[in-house]
């Protein structure tokens, strides 16, 4: 019997309250040639007991501690061998035709050089122990966009859900929910001397912005990304930044994040630029980048000082990022001008 065409991969870490609605939406998909794989990161909230009792047929790869979103997803990608991998956060609810539409795009000759496929994520709220859903009419994300100051934003965040009704190419996908071709993941993996295994997501990132890093690397390696409004799902993320957000709004969104999220988001932004950016493009946009980073630095200095250690942590990883950067840029199929056209 042939293996399913799609693996829907979910990383869990004390996220039991999201699982019932997420899994229910997956089993209601009109496209049926899929398997679910759950990678658990040492949950202590009854997640494993819930899965054993209610979904005994779903394979669970169990880690005994939280190794980070990046490593957990890498474990899953290496475990199975389906042509397509859907990365799905626990706090996602898909419309029933999401997977059918995504696979149709991926198998279209028009998108043969596209590696990732995403759609319209709409904000939702969950309440109660097992997550009662309350859908909104506000966009969470229609893909990723990189601004001149190198802030990475979610396209359409906070706008009315009727917006962005046309299919278009985007810089990359939010890994909250996206379909990836395995071929593209394998081709874009980081392979450096002294590293035991290739990395799809950079495990030094641990969590946060590893999807931006992957999107950037896939661009460099010649894989495009498309947004399609027919791929509709709902996401319970508390805050997301758009290109229309003022610096004050950005700070307000940051205040909603956990201490872990703020630390890794700040640190990983530096790693992202260390690894993937052409030096000429940094020089070209030096003043927007410098101004934005200076504002963030002074905010942290006066209002969130504990996160200042993220700078030191990033510097400690600088030599490792240099090795990864040398591998990435030496194998890149996109030159500085091709990347620069995606930065606006």
What's the pLDDT at 197?
84
CB 225 within 8 A of CB 114: yes
Is the model's pLDDT at 284 over the cut of 80? Answer: yes
Least confident stretch, 103-117, 199-213, 226-240: 226-240
pLDDT at residue 1 greater than cutoff 80: no
Q: Mean pLDDT of all residues in the chain?
A: 92
Query: Would you say residue 90 has pLDDT above 80?
Result: yes
Question: Looking at residue 118, which CATH number applies to its domain?
Answer: 3.90.550.10
What does the DSSP assignment read for 308-340? GHHHHHHHHTHHHHHHHHHHHHHS-SS-HHHHH
The residue with greater pLDDT, 92 or 128, is 92
Q: What pLDDT, in 10s, does the model give residues 245-280?
A: 555 555 555 555 678 889 999 999 999 999 999 999
pTM for this structure?
Answer: 0.92
Average pLDDT over residues 83-90: 97
Residue 182 included in any domain: yes
Tell me the residue range of the domain where 90 lies.
Answer: 6-243
Residue 156 pLDDT grade (very low, low, confident, very high; cuts 50, 70, 90): very high
Question: Within a domain: residue 165?
Answer: yes
Report the half-sphere exposure of 13 (CA within 13 A, side-chain side).
15
Contact 70/54 with Cβ under 8 angstroms?
no
Residue 100 lies in a domain: yes
- Distance (Å, rounded) from C-alpha 273 to C-alpha 138? 30
Residue 261 has what pLDDT?
Answer: 87
Q: Is residue 26 assigned to a domain?
A: yes
Q: What angle do CA 185, 190, 194 make, to 5 degrees?
A: 145
Query: How far apart are alpha carbons 341 and 344 in whole angstroms?
Result: 7
Query: Which 3 state secondary structure label does DSSP give 37?
Result: strand
Instruction: With a cut of 90, say whether residue 334 has pLDDT above it.
Output: yes
Q: What pLDDT is attached to residue 128? A: 64
Give the pLDDT score at 181. 98
Mapped onto helix, strand or coil, the DSSP state of residue 4 is coil
pLDDT band at 195; cut points 50, 70, 90: confident
Residue 323 lies in a domain: no
In a domain, 95, yes or no: yes
* Confidence label for 312 from pLDDT (cuts 50, 70 and 90): very high
Domain count within the chain:
1
Task: Give tens-digit pLDDT for 109-134.
Answer: 999 999 999 999 999 987 766 557 88
How far apart are alpha carbons 203 and 206 in whole angstroms? 5
Which are the contacts of 60, defined by CB distance < 8 A and separation ≥ 6?
Answer: 38, 39, 40, 48, 51
Residue 36 φ then ψ, to 5°: -105, 140
**53 belongs to a structural domain:** yes
Please give the pLDDT value at position 126. 79
């Amino acid at each position: 019997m042939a293996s399913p065409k799609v693996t829907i991969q979910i990383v869990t870490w004390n996220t039991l309250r999201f699982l019932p609605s997420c899994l229910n939406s997956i089993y209601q998909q009109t496209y049926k040639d899929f398997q679910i794989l759950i990678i658990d990161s040492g949950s202590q909230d009854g997640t494993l007991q819930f899965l054993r009792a209610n979904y005994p047929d779903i394979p669970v790869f169990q880690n005994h501690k939280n190794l980070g979103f990046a490593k957990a997803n890498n474990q899953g990608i290496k475990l199975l061998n389906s042509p397509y991998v859907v990365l799905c956060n626990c706090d996602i609810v898909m419309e029933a035709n999401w997977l059918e539409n995504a696979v149709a795009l991926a198998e279209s000759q028009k998108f043969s050089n596209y590696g990732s496929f995403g759609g319209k994520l709409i904000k939702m709220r969950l309440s109660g122990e097992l997550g009662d859903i309350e859908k909104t009419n506000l966009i969470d994300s229609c893909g990723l966009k990189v601004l001149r100051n190198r802030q990475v934003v979610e396209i359409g965040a906070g706008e009315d859900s009727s917006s962005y009704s046309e299919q278009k190419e985007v810089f990359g996908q939010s890994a909250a929910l996206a379909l990836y071709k395995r071929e593209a993941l394998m081709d874009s993996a980081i392979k450096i001397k002294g590293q035991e295994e290739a990395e799809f997501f950079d495990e030094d990132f641990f969590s946060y912005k590893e999807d931006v890093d992957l999107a950037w690397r896939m661009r460099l390696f010649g894989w495009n990304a498309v947004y399609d409004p027919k791929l509709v799902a709902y996401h319970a993320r508390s805050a997301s930044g758009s290109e229309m957000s003022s610096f004050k709004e950005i700070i307000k969104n940051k205040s909603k994040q956990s201490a872990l999220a703020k630390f890794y988001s700040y640190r990983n932004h530096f790693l992202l630029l260390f690894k993937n950016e052409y030096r000429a493009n940094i020089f070209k946009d030096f003043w927007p980048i410098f101004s934005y980073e200076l504002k963030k630095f002074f905010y942290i200095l006066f209002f969130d000082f504990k996160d200042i250690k993220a700078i030191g942590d990033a510097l400690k990883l600088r030599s490792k990022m240099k090795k990864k950067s040398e591998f990435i840029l030496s194998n890149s199929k996109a030159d500085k001008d091709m990347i620069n056209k995606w930065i606006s």
